[in-house]
Amino acid sequence: MNNTLIDQSRRRAIGAGLGLPIALSAMSVLGSGCASPNAMPVPAGLDPLPVPTLRIGDRWRYVLINRYNNLAIGEVAVQVTAVTPLIRLSIDRGADKPLLEEIYTDPWSVLLETVYSGEPIRFNTPMPVVPQGASSGMNLKSETRYMTPSSGSEYGWIQRLSVQGWEKVTVPAGSFDALRVVRQIDFVHPDFFRSYSTRTDTCWYAPQVGRWVKRDWTGSYISPDLMPRGGRAREDWIDWQLTANEPAPR
């Protein structure tokens, strides 16, 4: 992943005014309950959402898009390496980067998370990304604490999850019927100079592939540099889009 591209485009966005409160309304749309032009009826047999059957060797490939400038910044290959007692995924970010691991208690409640920029996050209790038995209109509030490898301390994490309905989603791998799940997250950042940190994390889960085919996240925080003008700094804004799904032999 080319973090330089992200940082430069994010700085340009803040310089253009996206760091000011008036621009945060645009960010809130990411997690709003407004009807999508791609909205569709619930597909037969998918309400509530069935639990996928994962197998060792199941594999998904994604391209990562920097939403500030809509440029591709990398690719990620995700592969199931264990399914019991916990689901373990190998995260391959390219030949020049070490492999990472994600851990889930079920598909898809996460204990060890690597999606966000920065260090992996290990939660004290599993946080649902796509809740078991998800159904349109479902709302969940979850609270836990987390650590990063270098933090040495635990920090608070509160998320409010809403299941917002089915949409037809097109990504490089094709078109899919997908359930949109939005998480609004309030958390304490390990960086002392970031306060009132928030994230909006939206995923489009497709039962056809057993995982999300698209995932979009961004966030904001109060920075001392912006406090005199009452603004908030923006985090990265990354969009994951599925390019291939390779199920293990059944």
Amino acid letter, residue 17:
G
The b/e string for 146-165 (b: 16+ C-beta within 10 A; e otherwise) is bbbeeeeeebebebebbbbb
pLDDT > 70 in the chain, percent: 84
- Residue 226 confidence (pLDDT): 64
10 Å Cβ neighbour count for 182?
A: 18
Residue type (1 letter), 248: A
Kindly report, residue by residue over 173-196, the tens digit of the pLDDT.
999 999 999 999 999 999 988 999
Spatial distance between the Cα atoms of 213 and 126, rounded to a whole number of angstroms? 21
pLDDT at 231: 76
Element (H, E) at 3: helix 3-13
Distance CA 88, CA 162 (A): 25
Using an 8 Å Cβ cutoff, are 121 and 151 in contact? no
Lowest mean pLDDT across 34-43, 203-212, 241-250: 34-43
In this predicted structure, which of 46-50, 57-61, 71-75, 231-235 has the lowest mean pLDDT?
Answer: 231-235
**Which token pair is 91?**
């995260």
pTM attached to this predicted model: 0.86
Residue given tokens 């990063």 in the structure block:
148
Please tell me the predicted confidence (pLDDT) of residue 24.
38
* Adjacent-strand bridge partners of 123: 146
Tell me the per-residue pLDDT of 121-173, one tens digit each, with 9 for 90 and over: 999 999 999 999 999 999 999 999 999 999 989 999 999 999 999 999 999 99
In the chain, pLDDT over 90 holds for what percent of residues? 76
Class of domain 3-246: mainly beta
Which tokens go with 20? Answer: 């000011």
Please write the tens of the pLDDT for every residue from 92-122.
Answer: 998 789 999 999 999 999 999 999 988 999 9
179 and 49 Cβ atoms separated by less than 8 Å: yes
Q: What is the mean pLDDT of residues 188-207?
A: 95
Place 227 in a pLDDT band, splitting at 50, 70 and 90: low
Average of per-residue pLDDT across 201-208: 98
Q: Nearest CA to 129 among 148, 103, 156?
A: 103
Q: Write down the mean pLDDT value for the chain.
A: 88
Structure confidence at residue 30 (pLDDT): 40
- pLDDT reported for residue 36: 76
